[in-house]
Amino acid sequence: MKKIGIIFTIFFLSVSTYAETVRGVVVVGEYKCKKRDYIIIETNMGFVYAQQFGGSFSRGDIVVGDLNSFGFKDVDVQSSSGRIWIDDYMMSKSRATEKCFGKD
């Protein structure tokens, strides 16, 4: 029984510390959303709605980092780096547009 507990603990820790690296493209850059410090990034899994905390994010920029989870993320942007807070991810285009330009 003790062996199973140790294996489970190792498995759980390895899964919980895994950060998936995702590549995306900025489709709505800084100062374009209703809340001016928000951006939208398109990934192969959907759209990411994120608040910008550091760096520059212009339309067409390539962003690489853990874009499929909530919270603060340090990301690579073109040949620089940036910091974002991901509010939502794996969103549809219509929902991302609504969050950026609508009442949310």
Residue 68 belongs to some domain of the structure? yes
Flag whether pLDDT at 2 surpasses 90.
no
Give percent above pLDDT 90 in the chain: 71
**Domain with 29 in it:** 20-101
Residue 12 belongs to some domain of the structure? no
Residue 9 belongs to some domain of the structure? no
Distances (CA, A) of 68 to 2, 8, 43, 71, 90: 34, 24, 9, 10, 7
Residue 11 belongs to some domain of the structure? no
Flag whether pLDDT at 11 surpasses 90.
no
Residue 78 belongs to some domain of the structure? yes
pTM of the full predicted structure? 0.80
Q: pLDDT per residue over 45-89, tens digit each?
A: 999 999 999 999 999 999 999 999 999 999 999 889 999 999 999
Residue 54 belongs to some domain of the structure? yes
Residue 5 belongs to some domain of the structure? no
Number of domains into which the chain is organized: 1
